[in-house]
Amino acid sequence: MHDQEKAPAEEGRRPDVEGESLLNRRSLLAGTAGLVGAMLMGAVTPSAEAATENLPEDPTRVPGTTPSAYGQRSTFEKSVRIPRSWWSSLTPLQDSHGILTPSALHFERHHNGVPTIQPAQHRLLIHGMVEQPWTFTLDDLKRFPSVSRLTFIECSGNSAPEWHKPAGQTAQQTHGLTSTSEWTGVALKTVLREVGVHPDASWMLAEGSDAAAMTRSLPLAPILEEAMLCYAQNGEPLRPEQGYPLRLLIPGWEGNTCIKWLRRLKLGRAPFMTREETSQYTDLMPDGTARQFTMVMDAKSVITSPSGGQRIQPGFQEIRGLAWSGRGRITLVEVSTDGGRSWQQTALQEPILPKCHTRFHFPWQWNGEDVTLQSRCLDDIGYRQPDRATLVAVRGVNSVYHYNAIQSWHIAADGKVSNVHA
Ligand code: CO
């Protein structure tokens, strides 16, 4: 099922977590002086100039704006999703802080557009091998005990263009089909207990009410403990593009299994073999066979800063990034600043949650030489993120889905960062 190399968990050295030896006053200020110098010489972006036109020079001299009904971010902030196609858009991971993705920047993947659904008219039908088929309203579902969980959702097609060549120019383009939210809803097992699942039922069909009627078959046993029927994301109702008013969530499983705009669950004895498990979402192997029902997302990491498209200055750099595993907690993230010849342990930032983005940091001094940065992670089942050669040796290059190889960022002597396959 999953066939990449495994390594035992390591007792790592303590990383230089605070960066004391690197982050001294002189090195940091030296870098800042260069930046201020560049700004004074006119290196201000046109959009920043336009935004400051009508503003007072001194914000303490005029009253500010009044409270508003629904908040917006500062007009100075421009980070946005990039639509990759009519069916997906990418999260700007290089601009993110901490582990949460703002709801407005959560990546999108839909199969025939975002439907508009009136919540009062939405229904969830549960039928098939159950004692009491039932139709639930949203209010019905909200009466059940609620649960919340921070977890990532990653599209199994994340990084897919990287199978063939260094395709994405930025971390957003290479890795932006993953995002983390706090999801709230009712545990699937709570609702299934209510309808009474037949003991022989081992598969569940989940169907959305979008114009694709997106449908997948899910084995019941591995998802029953953790799956949720979600109506909220980051403290408010789901965003329309995230399945408003109801979605399935299976922590750690590929995004397409977390059926959005959920309207139907059918229990049965076997997979239902929809188009999504035959023509789509199978992984073509080098011998011509295809892996099927590969739903768990393996461990993966990416350095978000410095990352592709950025330009850095010599001196202190905090290397920052995200790591995640669909199988559990991240236990170790290492970075290499020499193209994979040597590795150093990074500091993991709390909270370190299972099946959730985990933030890592590593203090570094760039001396202005040509280098290649990489990160690799280990999860708590002992699975280590593979390098590209190892992944390709097992899977070939025609899988489309589940590309989780080590990402390499090349830094040229002029500080420009670009995507390479090292
Ligand atoms: Co898969």
pLDDT tens-digit series, residues 258-268:
999 999 999 99
Structure tokens at 81: 């999703």
Please, are residues 406 and 376 in contact by the beta-carbon 8 Å criterion? yes
Q: Do 292 and 277 form a contact (C-beta atoms < 8 A)? A: yes
Is residue 67 situated within a structural domain?
A: no
Asked if the structure places residue 62 within a domain, the reply is no
> Is pLDDT of 138 > 90?
yes
Question: Residue 105 pLDDT more than 60?
Answer: yes
> Ligand 1 center to residue 176 CA distance, Å?
17
User: Which residue segment(s) compose the domain that 412 sits in?
Assistant: 300-420
Ligand 1 centroid from CA 293, angstroms: 6
Nearest in space to 255 (alpha carbons), one of 387, 79, 402: 402
- Residue 277 CA, ligand 1 centroid: distance in Å: 9
Q: Which pLDDT belongs to residue 279?
A: 86
Do both 405 and 374 map to the same domain?
yes
pLDDT at 113 over 90: yes
CA–CA distance, 137 with 317 (Å, rounded to integer)? 52
For 28, 31, 229, the CA distances from 19, given in Å and listed in that order, are 12, 16, 42
Rounded to 5°, the CA angle 344-168-414 comes to 65
Same domain, 230 and 248: yes
- In angstroms, what is the span from residue 48 Cα to ligand 1's centroid? 42
The answer, yes or no, to whether residue 194 has pLDDT greater than 90, is yes
Query: Residue 11: which pLDDT band, with cuts at 50, 70 and 90?
Result: very low
Average pLDDT over residues 204-222: 98
Task: Classify residue 35: in a domain, yes or no.
Answer: no
CA–centroid distance, residue 383 to ligand 1 (Å)? 17
* Residue 79 belongs to some domain of the structure: no
User: Residue 101 to residues 92, 94, 98, 322, 360: CA-CA distances in angstroms?
Assistant: 9, 11, 9, 12, 16
**Ligand 1 mean position, distance from CA 20 (Å):** 43
pLDDT bucket at 239, cuts 50 / 70 / 90: very high
Distance 255 CA to ligand 1 centre (A): 9
* pLDDT value, residue 52: 58
Q: How far is the CA of 9 from the centre of ligand 1 (A)?
A: 26
φ and ψ at residue 27, rounded to 5 degrees:
-70, -40
In whole angstroms, give the CA distance from residue 380 to residue 9.
7
Cβ burial of 421 (10 Å; 0-12, 13-18, 19+) is middle
Q: Report the pLDDT value the prediction gives residue 34, as an integer from 0 to 100.
A: 42
186: domain CATH number is 3.90.420.10
Over range 64-81, report the average pLDDT.
96
- Flag whether 74 is in a domain: no
Q: What is the DSSP string of 334-401?
A: EEESSTTSS-EEPEEPSP--TTS-EEEEEEEEE-SS-EEEEEEEEETT-BBPPPHHHHHHHH-S---S
When pLDDT is cut at 50, 70 and 90, the band that residue 26 belongs to is low
* Cα 402 to middle of ligand 1, angstroms: 6
Report which of residues 185 and 29 the model is more confident about: 185
Confidence of residue 30 (pLDDT cuts 50, 70, 90): low
Both 254 and 332 in a single domain?
no
Residue 11 counted as domain residue: no
User: Do 157 and 178 lie in a common domain?
Assistant: yes
**Domain end point (choices 235, 264, 291):** 291
Among 235, 260, 291, residue at a domain's last position: 291
Domain edge (last residue) among 244, 263, 291: 291
64 in any annotated domain: no
247 and 333 belong to one structural domain? no
182 with 323, same domain: the answer is: no
Burial of residue 279 (CB within 10 Å: 0-12, 13-18, 19+) is exposed
Same domain flag for 304 and 272: no
- Model pLDDT, residue 303: 98
What average pLDDT does this structure show over 187-199? 98
Average pLDDT of the chain is 90
Report the domain count for the chain. 2
Residue 74 has pLDDT above 90, yes or no: yes
Q: How far is CA 318 from the centre of its chain?
A: 21
> Ligand 1 center to residue 268 CA distance, Å?
21
Integer Cα distance of 63 and 73 in angstroms: 19
- Structure confidence by residue, pLDDT tens digits, 270-309: 999 999 998 899 999 999 999 999 999 999 999 999 999 9
pLDDT of residue 24: 54
User: What DSSP string runs through 80-145?
Assistant: --EEEETTEEE--GGG--SSPPPGGGS-EE-SS------GGG-EEEEEESBSS-EEEEHHHHHHSP
Q: Using an 8 Å Cβ cutoff, are 333 and 377 in contact?
A: yes
Helix, coil or strand: residue 249: strand
Ligand 1 midpoint to CA 381 (Å): 19
Within a domain: residue 33?
Answer: no
Task: Tell me the CA–centroid distance for residue 256 and ligand 1, in Å.
Answer: 9
Same domain as 222, residue 94? yes
Residues 104 and 153 in one domain: yes
* C-alpha distance from residue 167 to each of 174, 196, 241, 271 (Å): 7, 49, 26, 35
Q: Is residue 372 pLDDT above 80, yes or no? A: yes
Q: Which residue has the higher pLDDT, 243 or 42?
A: 243
Centre of ligand 1 from the C-alpha of residue 157, in Å: 8
Amino acid in position 161: P
- How many angstroms does the Cα of residue 68 sit away from the middle of ligand 1? 43
The percent of residues in the chain predicted with pLDDT above 70, rounded, is 87
Whole-number Å distance, alpha carbon 6 to ligand 1 midpoint, is 19
Q: Are 91 and 233 within one domain?
A: yes
Exposed, middle or buried by CB within 10 Å (0-12, 13-18, 19+), for 213?
middle
Q: Tell me, what CATH number does 355's domain have?
A: 2.60.40.650
Q: CB-based burial of residue 14 (10 Å sphere; 0-12 exposed, 13-18 middle, 19+ buried)?
A: exposed
Kindly state whether residues 91 and 238 are assigned to the same domain: yes
- Between the CA of 365 and the centroid of ligand 1 the distance, in Å, is 39
pLDDT score of 54? 76
Shared-domain flag, residues 202 and 313: no
The single-letter code of the amino acid at 271 is P
